[in-house]
Structure 1
Amino acid sequence: MRSKKSKTRRTKKKVSKKVSNDKAFYFNTWQGFTGIKAKSLEEFKKAIKVVPIESLYYHLREDKNDFSAWLRGVLNEKKIADEIDKIKSEMLEGEHLRRAIYFHL
């Protein structure tokens, strides 16, 4: 039986895993790059708190979900990506959208 401490270490390691710049998530708006990028789940979570709302809308457009695609494809965070997919269908706006995304990270 694994100890609680062992599980915490694995979880922490997973959260702090960083990817290279070419696989990082670059937060954009329709005007371009916001200057904010994330190379880990931890950085992504911090960024969600501060990026412009327009960036959230940009990445959760009707025709795509950049957040879940990156979480699933780059960080291999399938469960979180599935939750973000559900948020998109809820049609949340403004800070409600930000809080919902942050909650699932």
Structure 2
Amino acid sequence: MSTQDETRKLMAKERQHREHLKENILGRTVEEVKAHLKNEITDEQARELITRERQHEQHLKENLSGRATEEVKAHLKNEITDEQARELITRERQHEQHLKENLSGRATEEFNK
């Protein structure tokens, strides 16, 4: 085999090696971009969840504040009866149950995403 033939073979191998490296680098880059995009979606979902949780907490605070105000007003007027107290306790228990179910549902939704 002549020197020229060996040189051509070496050059062809070198070219193939460079193409292989380019393909590997491109493949890695694509995987990194996909992973980054996936993390961005996850970050966006996390931001949405935090926003919903803050809104829910604000709603609870307002609701509890309103209830407390009503209770204080009723107590101050001595207008609260035993029946009203039982109704208030029942509503409070139902509300707590609703909150538990709501949070459980949210947790299940987030887990299944």
TM-score > 0.5, shorter chain as reference: no
The answer to which structure has the higher helix fraction is 2
TM-score (norm. length: structure 2): 0.29
Based on CA coordinates, which of the two structures has the bigger radius of gyration? Answer: 2
The answer to which structure has the higher strand fraction is 1
